[in-house]
Chain A
Amino acid sequence: MNKVYKTAAEALEGVLHDGMFIAAGGFGLCGIPELLIDAIRDAGTKDLTIASNNCGIDDFGLGILLQTRQIKKMISSYVGENAEFMRQYLSKELELEFNPQGTLAERMRAGGSGIAGFYTRTGVGTLIAEGKEHKDFDGQTHILERSIVADLAIVKAWKADDTGNLVFRKTARNFNPPAAMCGKICVVEVEEIVPRGSIDPDQIHLPGIYVHRIIQGTHEKRIEQRTTRKKESA
């Protein structure tokens, strides 16, 4: 069983089709599968539905698939950093399903866990609750949220071994594990593929059973809000 591919394009071969549903890891520009996004742009796959917390910025991350009009619908919690997103949404060129951030993460986790849906208090009494089943548990109203199973998950991790065991780094983990879990096929890009046995099995964040294809590559890792403080003079 070989999971390791040479390039993002090769790793996506036979997987992409117009109208497909993709779950993507990342938060803002942190921990996004930038190489796989580039490869999807190059492949020209259209009418995509993408579940991702954000949609990148105008010229980086998922934002580049907006530029090329490859996205039909986004399922996201926050799209405030992207002018083109706003333009396409307000002109009704793009569909948008807002999900509270935790609901989106749990929909992915549940989808990968064989759970069809879950009841949550999040969003009760708001626009999000409209049209959803309401049910009271222990005196509190909950709404039913369905899980997400995607045709494809695109994920960024720090390290993998060749069996797909993954290690993430700091807050770049974010949506990557739940996105990976909910994909019928999961393709992962990493900064380094390391030899089998070199990751302590107790330190693996996501076991390779969720991972079908892996590529190693160089990442730009752009910073969205570079914020610093001055060194105090001694």
Chain B
Amino acid sequence: MPWDRNQMAARAAAELEDGMYVNLGIGIPTLVANYVGDKDITLQSENGMLGMGPFPFEGEEDPDLINAGKQTITELDRTAYFDSATSFAMIRGGKIAAAILGAMEVAENGDLANWMIPGKLIKGMGGAMDLVAGVGRVIVVMDHTNKAGDSKILRECTLPLTGKGVVDRIITNLGVLDVVDGGLKIVELADGISEDELRNATQATIVT
């Protein structure tokens, strides 16, 4: 069985270590927060917050307190607020240990595309270009294939890039891959997924 969204999030959470400052993207990456357990992780929200807490209880929403996905959230006893310039200073400055992001496409050389489909979907890069350029480690969490069944892990990206050669590790519903010299290396297979199944679902070069 391929991993579901929550299993992928749990697998991504296993990448995090005590003491890390981490930025989580929108979608499946947001779920990673549910699986950090008792590890001492501080979540950064690039709109100006370190120490992001869980969603508020109903009736306790504060319009002045949102995350980068514009969702209402809460603060913790360690929380600090700051402006957007300061927020991206810490991102660009390499102070954030890891970013866990979604993607439309990833290439075997670590190229990442996740901000636009020309002529169709023009949302913008938000903070993603700054994050991939600045953080210590970039982990992509996404489905291995798109709705049509085509591989999202490619020899070369077809969509406009968010960053060139920036991805370190890819976690999908089929397993875990690392970007290495010459292509991608299989790190782990999802429960019950064979190496052949993963290879067949992957357009990119897989090296051993």
Contacts and interface: CB of A to CB of B under 8 A. Distances in A.
B72 A121 contact: no
Given A77-B127, A78-B125, A125-B163, A178 B83 contact: yes
B29 interface: no
Interface of B: 45-49, 54-67, 69-73, 75, 81-85, 87-89, 91-92, 111, 119, 122-130, 133-134, 160-165
Contacts of A108: 85
Given A122-B92, A171-B64, A178-B84, A230 B125 contact: no
B84 A27 contact: yes
A53 to B, nearest CB: 7
A161 interface: no
Specify the main secondary structure of chain B where it touches its partner: loop
Interface of A: 27-31, 53, 76-81, 86, 89-90, 96, 98, 100-106, 108-109, 120-128, 158, 168-178, 205, 221-231
Contact of B58 (A120, A205, A230): A230
A78 B124 contact: yes
A175 B122 CA distance: 22
Nearest to A127: B160
Given A30-B64, A89-B122, A178-B84, A126 B55 contact: no
Nearest to A98: B124
20 contacts: A77-B124, A100-B125, A100-B126, A100-B128, A102-B134, A105-B83, A121-B133, A122-B92, A124-B133, A126-B163, A126-B164, A170-B62, A172-B64, A176-B83, A177-B83, A225-B72, A226-B72, A227-B72, A228-B57, A229-B57
Given A100-B130, A102-B84, A174-B83, 10 more contacts: A27-B66, A78-B124, A80-B124, A100-B126, A101-B130, A120-B92, A122-B92, A170-B49, A170-B64, A171-B81
